[in-house]
Amino acid sequence: MGHLRVAVDIGGTFTDLCILDESNGTLRIAKTATTPDPIDGLLSGLEQSGVDLHDVTLLSHGTTVATNALITRRLPRAAMVCTEGFRDVIEIRRANKEDLWDTYKDVARPYIPRRDRLTVRERVDAAGVVVTPLDEDAAREVARILQKRGVVAVAICFINAFANGANEQRMKAILEDALPGVAITASSDVLPEIFEHERFSTTVVNAILSPVVGDYCVRLGEELKHRGYGSDLLLLHSGGGVMTAKGVRQFAGRLAGSGIAAGAIASRHIAAQCGFPNAIGLDMGGTSTDVSLAFEGKSRVTKDWFIEFGYPIRFPSIEVLTIGAGGGSLAWIDEGGSLRNGPQSAGANPGPAAYGRGGTVPTNTDANMVLGRLGSGLAGGSVSLDPALATAAVRQGIAQPLGMALHEAAEAILRVANANMADAVRLISISRGYDPRDFALVAFGGAGALHGVALARELSIPVVIVPPSPGVTSALGCLLVDIQHDLAESYICPAASADPVAIETAFATLENEAWARMRHEGVAEDQVLMQRTIDMMYQGQWRSLAVPAGRPVGSIAVLIGAFHAQHEREYNFRRDDAPVDLYRLNVQAVGVVAKAALAEHAPSGQTPAPHGRRPVWFGAAEPFDTAIYRRADLPAGAIIEGPAIVEQLDATTVIPPATTATVDRFLNLVMRVA
């Protein structure tokens, strides 16, 4: 019998693995370089970890394959079939710009060029009435042209298909007959919602990614099966659940946000382990920082996201705010003489000045090095750090131009970086109606634990949690997810005249589709949970809020009251006398995957002696004589009084003065911030 669960998170630089032994709850980690073909790096990591795939009961995988395909535009030849007169919807977009004041910066070109956007005669009105049936002769001519062009994916986007997809489905049938083996995606299957640009854009993304990730899943599945893996390959999607390879073929666009969701899931789980249902996740890597929020044990979910500005992807996604702040972020002085930090980054090559690879501009890593917070190496010594090079970069780049002392300049670099991250946390918490003082901060990634306490003090967050393996925490998130599908349907009507029976009927239709998807994924019926919400808004608005709905749908007045309360929390005001509209019905189907418990450790009550000491600067005129601990030496129950530094293979944790850190029974480092 197998006894291992493996999670793999493939990033741009490293492929991280978490191997959980179900027999005793122990967790092993591994890190290997990401390869041009990500499958090679994944298999190499398994081999280096000594994993026999015959022993693996579950392999869950977060990947950037879909994200990178969109960013690099390495996409297959695809086409779009539209209603006559609407081929340019995805190019007109919303006529907005990412930078309002830069009139010369153009939005990226559409994923499908105009020559491959073909039209047919058909028409459905806004009420869903077929005004003009599909011109089937024209549809067959379109199929002939697409066959000649050798397209491998087609997106069908008809106007008002959200209200009635009959014409789209007939077009799909004609194309499937004429183009065997081609991925055909209809908007009425993918996103039956109002707003044509968002629906068209999401359908296009889903269509063009289907061959990319479909081929990837097939190749990876065959390699794993050949090496002895006997279960389904599970792939993490943007909504925080997983899909099997069968589901990926239908909803490939959901993998566009696969990489960032895992860290949010892991931070939520780790905080809950420590007794904190409210958590802010801080995933700080070498180039960027991802900030997420969970309230009462649930992650915030959004439908307003994109990989490239102007081309929205309306699948539900865990809300993650990404900013250019990482260990390699560059410190620089602007034209006004002010100190800035990021978003530019030294990257992996040349990297921070301390790496000795030719970098001369100071980074956050160099500032931490100058302050004594980093030792002589990273990643277990595989990356050597040169303090002289870090000192020269900080002195020449910041200290001398600004007339500051060396350590004052290094601390200023980190204060600016922390202020940038604090602004990101405020955007995802205070601006959403949440008080950071009610949350725990989970700091992870390669650099998160260096900055966690300073950021918590900036925001008055009382607790900082550093997981046992901060650098591979995102991979751990892949072990903590369930199979999940999200379905939605536009349902636009005034709440005052809404019929609960009609709403219940519409919910039943969505749930039948959800059950069909779960059966397609091979999930047992007793493992499926259905959750309902209704998007509601004040009349005249177009932004909505999701309100939980009962089964069966009960009093509309109760729903309206819940909406008012949620609007007050989100925006700090409510209008009880204003009419409310229903906008959309949502069903989330969750196929529960059994979770293996992580090992718990009995507190020993002993704190080991530090393995060394060194001077570390913490904002005072002189450095503190600071104890240095190895993370592997710290048992459950150990208590460390700051100032202290905790070093390990994948991260370094800073425990400043007036801070107490305790190792809990799951070996998390829990710091109480004064």
- pLDDT at site 383: 67
Helix axes 445-459, 406-428, angle to 10 degrees: 80
- How many domains does the chain divide into? 6
In a domain, 268, yes or no: no
Rounded distance, CA 426 to CA 424, Å?
Answer: 5
Beta bridge partners of 611: none
- The angle at the Cα of 270, spanning 264 to 272, to the nearest 5 degrees, equals 105
In a domain, 112, yes or no: yes
Q: Indicate which CATH number applies to the domain containing 451.
A: 3.30.420.40
- Number of DSSP helices (H) and strands (E) in the chain, helices first: 17, 35
- pLDDT at site 474: 82
Rounded distance, CA 642 to CA 664, Å?
Answer: 17
pLDDT along the chain (674 residues), means of 10: 80 79 80 82 88 88 84 91 95 85 86 96 93 96 96 96 94 96 93 91 95 89 90 85 81 84 89 94 87 91 87 90 86 93 82 88 94 77 80 95 95 95 93 92 92 95 94 82 84 91 93 88 84 92 87 89 90 91 91 74 86 92 93 93 90 93 94 88
Among the three residues 414, 429, 460, which one is the final residue of a domain in this structure?
414
In a domain, 608, yes or no: no
CA distances from 365 to 90, 168, 547, 562 (A): 42, 54, 44, 47
Q: Indicate which CATH number applies to the domain containing 538.
A: 3.30.1490
In a domain, 270, yes or no: no
Residues of the domain holding 218:
4-69+214-258
**Residues 219, 98 within the same domain:** no
Among the three residues 529, 558, 591, which one is the final residue of a domain in this structure?
591
In a domain, 603, yes or no: no
Picking from 584, 484, 604, the residue whose alpha carbon sits closest to that of residue 235 is 484
In a domain, 580, yes or no: yes
Q: Tell me, what DSSP letter sits at residue 306? A: B
**Residues 314, 451 within the same domain:** yes
Q: Indicate which CATH number applies to the domain containing 190.
A: 3.40.50
**Residues 193, 83 within the same domain:** yes
**Residues 300, 349 within the same domain:** no
- pLDDT at site 102: 83
**Residues 309, 440 within the same domain:** yes
**Residues 224, 171 within the same domain:** no
Residue 586 φ/ψ, nearest 5 degrees:
-130, 140
pTM here is: 0.82
Among the three residues 167, 189, 208, which one is the final residue of a domain in this structure?
208
**Residues 281, 339 within the same domain:** no
In a domain, 17, yes or no: yes
Match 């024209």 to its residue by tokens: 138
Q: Please, which residues have CB within 8 angstroms of residue 519's CB and are 6 or more apart in sequence? A: none
Longest dimension (CA), the chain: 83
- pLDDT at site 325: 85
In a domain, 466, yes or no: yes
**Residues 40, 56 within the same domain:** yes
**Residues 156, 84 within the same domain:** yes
- pLDDT at site 279: 95
**Residues 133, 201 within the same domain:** yes
**Residues 617, 640 within the same domain:** yes
Rounded distance, CA 43 to CA 40, Å?
Answer: 5
**Residues 29, 94 within the same domain:** no
